Structures are given as C-alpha cells and as structure tokens.
Amino acid sequence: MNNYTHTVEAAWFQTVDRCWCGGVSHQASPHSVDYRVCQRCGTHFSTLRLRPECIAQFYSFEGYWHRRQQGKQHPTLWERDAIFSSEADGRVQLWLDIMQRHAGARRGVAVEAGCAEGTLLRRLREKGWQPVGIEPDPKTAAAVREHTGLDVRAGAFPATPAPACDLFVACDVFEHVVEPRQFLAAVHAALRPAGLLFLQLPLMEEAQPDFGHMKDKVFDAQEHVFIYSRAAIATILETAGFAVLENAAAWRCAHEIVVARKVERPVRKLRHLANLPEMFSPTWTEFIDELNAFGAPHGLRQFTNWSKLWEYPWLWHHGLAALDWPGRRVLDLGSEQSPFPWWLAAKGAQVTLTETRADWIPQWEHIRQALGVKVDWQIVPDCRLPFADASFDLVTSFSVIEHQDDKTLAVDEVARVLKPHGRFALSFDICEPERGMTFPEWNGRALTRAEFESLVWRHPAFGRRGDPAWNEEDIGPFLRWHRTTAPHHNYITGAAIMRKGTTGWWERLRHFFG
C-alpha cells in the first residue's frame, strides 16, 4: 500500500472481497497485491473500502489536498488552477471541447462532484452554464466558495444530493467511489432527460494495462477503489441506464475520458430478454453466489462471466422459487455439470437428469452418494424422451433448445411428458442476423424471437395468446457485454416459464396427428 504523509486511520477502512458487479474474487491483480481481479466484469478492485462516515476526514483540506498531494507529487489544491488552466496542460480545454461536441447549444445546470478548486466550474460558467460543485470536506467547500464565488456544497455525493441538472461531471472521482452503482443511480435521477455524464478516470487499456510510470499512483488502494477497463466502464454505465457516446478519448495515460447520455427505458414487470440491470442486481448475484457455493464442492459448473448469470436467477425468481419442492418430479434436459438440478434435488425434488452421452455418469454417481438425494438419469441420444405421458411436474432446459436438431419435436415431447398444469422452464439463445448477430455452427442453431413465439410461446399445450413483450431496449447493452465474454458470443439470450393446460383438446390433437 502507498504510504504518504497524510495520516490515515486504519479504522476508516473495511476489508472486502466483492466487486461493484457483485463478483467475489480472491485472485490477486498482477499489478498490485492490494487489488483483486473480478472474473465477472474484469474490473480490478481494492480490498480496502473507505467507510462512508470517514470520507470527509480522508479528503480533508490539510490532510488530503495538501499533505497527501505533496506526498504523491501532485499539485496541491491552490496549485491546481494555474496548472490546469495553462495552455501547455490542456486538460480543461479538452474537457470543454468534448462537452461542447455532445451538448451542442444546450445549456443549463452543470454539477461537478469532487470539484476541488473549481477550475472547470469557472470555465463552464464562462460558457453559459450554471455551475454547482460538491466537495466532501466542509472546510474545502467553504474555502473554494470564498475563493471563487461558486456554489460549492459540502458533503460526499450522493449523500449530499445534486440539484436537477443537464450536465454532471466527475473528473478523477469515479474511481474513488465506494458504491458506484448508487452514485450512478443518483446521477441518473438528477439529470434531466437526455442529460450528459462526463467522466475522467484511469481506465485499463489493452496496450498498457498497468499504466506504465503511473502504476503506483493509479493502484493506490486507499483512494482508488475500482480500476475499470474500457469495457467494464461501458458495462456499469449501461447497467445504470446510460448510453455511452464516447469511450476512446483521453487527456493522457491514467486520465481517460468517457461521455454518456441518460436514457429512459420502459418500466417492465417482466423482461424475457437478458439484461444488465437484472444480471448485476444484488438479487441475481446473491442467487448465483449461492448456486456456485453449492456446486463447487462437487465439481459442478461455476458461473462467472457468461449469460447463465442471468438465466438461472431469472427462472428462479420468476416462478420456480414459489414451488413446493419435496416430492416434485423434475426432468432436466442437457444436465451435464449443471448445479441447478442437484440444487433442486437437495430441496427435496425427485430429479431425472438427461444427456446425449454417458460421460458424466461417474460424476453423477459420486454426487448422488455425497448428497443422498433422489436423482436418476437417462441417456437420450435424440429429441424423443423415453418417459411416459404426464410424468413430470417440471421440465427445465437451460440453453438446450439451440442444440436440438428437431426443435418442433423437442417441444412436443416436453409438452407430452409434462403433467397438466406442469411447467416448462427454459432459457434459449436468440440469433437475428439482420441485427448483426451470429451464432457458431458448431454450437447448433439458435432461435429467432419469431421462432420462439411459434414453437414455444403459442404451442397448443401452453396456449399463450399474443406475443411476449420483448424488452427491445436491453438488446444492445446486453449484446455489447456478451461479446466481451467470448469472441463467439454475438447473440442474445431469453427465458420463459410456460404452463401446460389441462388434458383435452391438445391431447386429442396430438394423437390425431401422431
């Protein structure tokens, strides 16, 4: 850890092992022993977190803005204005030029969190903006107010709220933020429609991920909580409801720039397509943590950075959590090393696993003995299921249908083996080439949304009317994240729970055509 002349109390910090996205990691960063690498989003995060009640003490007028800055060989508070305003430095002019490019003729209230000496706010005032600064330490805020005449409010954002604004700025601040999702949610709430967010912060670049000569100053575990990559900063912004406009500019190394615009997305009760807000929500990440913890001792799959982070929690929280599991008959398709059917068995369900090959049977036998659960299995080489009609209360299928050759038969067979009122819980990959999506041939063939609607949604056994209310607005952000997890992940994912109607006309129709 860096040791500067600013006196810092150990009690101001707490030790953590969790990233902003919910990922837990014990993998050390190659750039600093005080940082971990998140497998879920790629962010490097400090194991120290400044306690909220200690923010003003840490970022104090004498301690932080003078002694600590001198120890890091950075300009002190009052030295910053002359340096930042100089033509040779160029950073403030660069910031203004980029803001102007995106704001155009729009003016209004501009808020800067962590405004320090107020150089940028004074320049924004000259450009016709109404500037408001927020600075954690009351003494610093008062000194800057007196020195500049600016409206500078004391306290740490968002505990000290921002007024309604058209531009929100955080330069060399966001990497310090302990709760970045809360920070962005407050920014989103403060910004008026289509308002702009401007960030400067150290972002890891592929060409120089350790920041070169700036390494020790960037990987400062007391100050810089999260060191994002370009991809990770885009992910957190899109998760928080922003559309990234610019994500390639920089003043210089460790001073990268990102611009985003507030977007309003429809409020939906149900979103059938994978989306970042759900996937990185505490509810979803806690579920994945529980599933991973259950599966790890048995060598079952662990989920870190692929679409299962959304699929499993979606199906659980949108219907399966309400079921009474003891004695319930469950058929799991394409079981392989999935922890989910075993997790249901541990809750009392009677589970039948299926796979096309017998490779997994030795592991299954070992797990069954270790858990003492009611689990059996069948090797099923094609889409025909070797089970009697109306045998199961639930059929689960996690991203299996894209691997099935005869998708119509596959869905018919699920409908056949389900009991009346039984549920079909499935996730499925979607590839729509007209939207630039691709799906690797070696992985099967993904559905389009139209195919899902005709094959599954409106299947006679399930009898849904109309079309799913697809959350179209989430496709772009999810797809951009999905592409970062593997080169071939150029498609999206959906999920649904279908409920079989009572026997009757569907059974007669099946037998008539069968």
> Which residue among 212, 234, 262 closes a domain?
262
Extract the tokens encoding 115: 């405004």
**Structural domain contains residue 471:** yes
Pair 281, 237 in one domain: no
Instruction: Give the CATH number, domain containing residue 508.
Output: 3.40.50.150
Q: How far apart are CA 139 and CA 162, in angstroms?
A: 19
pLDDT computed for residue 479 by the predictor? 97
pLDDT of residue 56: 95
The answer to whether position 484 is within a domain reads yes
- Give residue 244's domain range: 57-262
Same domain, yes or no: 110 and 168: yes
Please give the structure tokens belonging to residue 370.
């270790």
Q: What share of the chain is helix, strand, coil (3-state, %, to 5)?
A: 40, 25, 40
User: Which of the listed residues 231, 262, 293 is the one where a domain comes to its end?
Assistant: 262
Do 222 and 289 share a domain, yes or no?
no
Q: Is residue 186 located within the same domain as residue 303? A: no
Element (H, E) at 29: strand 28-29
287 in a structural domain: yes
pLDDT of residue 465: 75
Nearest C-alpha neighbor of 418 from the set 352, 347, 368: 352
Q: Is residue 107 part of a domain?
A: yes
Same domain assignment for residues 373 and 409: yes
In a domain, 37, yes or no: no
Same domain assignment for residues 311 and 442: yes
Residue 464: predicted pLDDT: 76
219 and 177 within one domain = yes
267, two tokens: 């409020």
Say whether both 376 and 468 belong to one domain.
yes
Q: Is the peptide bond preceding residue 487 cis, with omega within 30 degrees of 0?
A: no
Number of H helices, E strands in the chain: 18, 21
Q: Both 149 and 236 in a single domain?
A: yes
On whether both 130 and 184 belong to a single domain, the answer is: yes
Ordered strands of the 329-333 beta sheet: 375-379, 350-355, 329-333, 392-398, 418-430, 492-499
The reply to whether 75 falls in a domain is yes
Residue 172 lies in a domain: yes
Below-50 pLDDT ranges, the chain? 1-3, 503-514
Residues 293 and 175 in one domain: no
Question: What's the pLDDT at 509?
Answer: 46
Q: How many domains does the chain have?
A: 2
Whether the CB-CB separation of 184 and 242 falls below 8 Å is answered with: yes
Q: Which among 238, 262, 286 is the end of a domain?
A: 262
Q: What is the pLDDT of residue 5?
A: 55
Residue 11 lies in a domain: no
How confident is the model at residue 467, as a pLDDT? 83
Looking at the fold, whether 220 and 281 belong to one and the same domain comes out as no
